[in-house]
Structure 1
Amino acid sequence: MYRFLASTRWVGWLVLVMIFAVVCAGLSWWQWDRRAEVSGENRQVAANWDAAPADLATARSWLAQLPEERLYAPVRLTGQYVPDQTLFVRQRILSSAIGMEVLVPFRTQDGTVVMVDRGWMPNGQGAEQHPDNVPAPPSGTVTVTMRLKPGEPNIGRDAPQGQIASIELAATAQKTGLPVQTGAYGLLASEDPAAATRPTALPKPEADEGMHWSYALQWAAFGVLFFVGFGYAARQQAKINRDDKAAAAEAAARGEEQIFRARRAPRARAVKPRRDGKPHDEDVEDAFLDGAGPSHQQR
């Protein structure tokens, strides 16, 4: 009944269905991994955001390679800002507005250099959108409390002088010419002494897993539906084949030619009778031929 599934056509359809199903499965796993990643970050925010700050001696290894469990861990450092090497991170959104984050190198008393994200500012009106009236960091010796984050990947975009497309810490070291720590940078929590004004502080991340779970289920369902559709199509084809086989058997029993479902005979066109009751010319011609046909053939 289902031997047609071994045909080239149906094997091709099955291969196509399997390809689409594999793609859907991959997208489903990707959404699941994103959910797990966001869930892990939420746990670290809850555990570390309001924890007591660590000192440089404790956090030194974190600055070289930030452990996952130390994400957003507070660190307290004492030293000086290097404001003439400030960098601006482009295309940052805060409260639906596009702006830049202000990244300033901070040199501790033992010479360790850490990039500090002092906050967000809206884009300026110039051609390069450089923020206007950027507040200067405190001068002299400052004690800074920051929350650690790992650097970002290189996204392959160029930026104007003094700006960067992402917080790739190795790139910030090249741009500033300073021995910047490449394992982590800090989100500014507080400064002592504090500046008169500062960029808008970045908010605490919301504990929201988003729609990743729903999207993962949807992609998995799509993958299953491809097989369901293939099975339904195969069942319909099997039914057509079965009906045609039964029709062929009946036609053979009556000595008639089988008319397959794939090539039905056209319906006869209905001819309306004339109003005067006389036959159509076609009917007269058919009657003449039917009556004269045999004698005509004998001539």
Structure 2
Amino acid sequence: MRELRFLLSPRWVGFAVFVVALSGVCIQLGIWQFHKLEDRQVRNELVREHLAEDPVPLEDVVPDGSAVKPEQEWTVVSASGTFDVEHQVTVKYISRDGRPGVDVLTPLMLDDGTALLVDRGFLETLRTNAQPDDIPEPPSGTVDVSGWIRVDSSATGQAIRVNDGQVRAISSKGIAEHVPYELRDGYLNLQEQTPATEGIDAEPRPDLGQGPHFFYGLQWWFFAALAIVGYGWFARAERQERRKVAARAARADVAADREVTPTR
């Protein structure tokens, strides 16, 4: 045990405190990733249930004046109305399968005078900041639509305000300043439309994979173990070096004794 007394020195005590703190942080980050995995699994199961159900009327999910609840997201809803192309906007900086483009947002005027934002889908464009001028027109008359109801983006400020006919994130609250009528909360990812419109790609089904959270959690725990193992490795190396120093000192003392001791 005397060989390990160096571990009580200020330098090694500080090192030990650092290792314990680092390991604790890594363990907590690993737990956080596993909690995110659990949340994603719960969300995926809810999405699967919603997507397997038949469309329900919009009023049954988002009545006028109510907000889309997180547990309602991805519910398949149906609605009828007329598209308001005059107040149509695009969502810029969208990429799908490596292709640059925009999402086309068109308000759908409902019978009660309110409107629902409809994400009609993806339109491939050049890599430019300007709004495209070749957006396929929707039918001019009454249309029947169905798709997934979505909650507004959590973005704020300029990201959700219309600028030159474009936004960076979809929010009915931000676009409400752009239209002269009341917008329903959230928006609809269009999947089916009668009559149909060609030239716009509908939103693909959501990714229901588990994501990287499991491996990220293991990675953080590996870092915690690595920090502890590293402490032990450095302590062992220090002890071995001290042994070598002590052995050299002992040999030097023996040699010195031989030099001063007279031979008979």
TM-score range, shorter chain: 0.7 to 0.9
Cα distance, 1:48 vs. partner? 1.4
Q: Does 1:175 align with 2:178?
A: yes
Give deviations 1:233-271, integer Å, cap 9, x for gaps. 1122233334545665666577659xxxxxxxxxxxxxx
Paired position in structure 2 for 1:85: 87
SS in 1 for 2:59: helix
Pairing 1:176-191 to 2, within 5 Å after superposition? 176-182=179-185, 184-191=186-193
TM-score by length of 1: 0.73
SS in 1 for 2:7: helix
Indicate conservation of the 8 Å contact 1:41/1:71, yes or no. Answer: no
Task: Tell me the percent identity.
Answer: 29
Instruction: Name the one with the larger strand percent.
Output: 2
Counterpart CA distance in 2 for 1:252 and 1:211 is 60
C-alpha spacing 1:198/1:122, structure 2 compared with 1 (3 Å): closer
Cα distance, 1:156 vs. partner? 6.1
Q: Which runs of 5+ in 1 are unaligned?
A: 258-299
Please, what is the CA RMSD of the aligned residues?
A: 3.0
Give deviations 1:132-185, integer Å, cap 9, x for gaps. 411122223322212111121216665741111111332122233542233x21
Paired position in structure 1 for 2:132: 131
Aligned partner letter, 1:101: D
Paired position in structure 2 for 1:28: 30
Counterpart CA distance in 2 for 1:81 and 1:119 is 14
Indicate conservation of the 8 Å contact 1:90/1:101, yes or no. Answer: yes
Aligned partner letter, 2:114: T
SS in 2 for 1:79: strand
C-alpha spacing 1:37/1:155, structure 2 compared with 1 (3 Å): farther
Paired position in structure 2 for 1:260: none
TM-score by length of 2: 0.81
Aligned partner letter, 2:167: I
Pairing 1:13-24 to 2, within 5 Å after superposition? 13-24=15-26
Aligned partner letter, 2:79: L
Q: Which has the larger radius of gyration?
A: 1
* Pairing partner for 2:45 from 40, 43, 46: 43
Paired position in structure 2 for 1:117: 119
Indicate conservation of the 8 Å contact 1:104/1:116, yes or no. Answer: yes
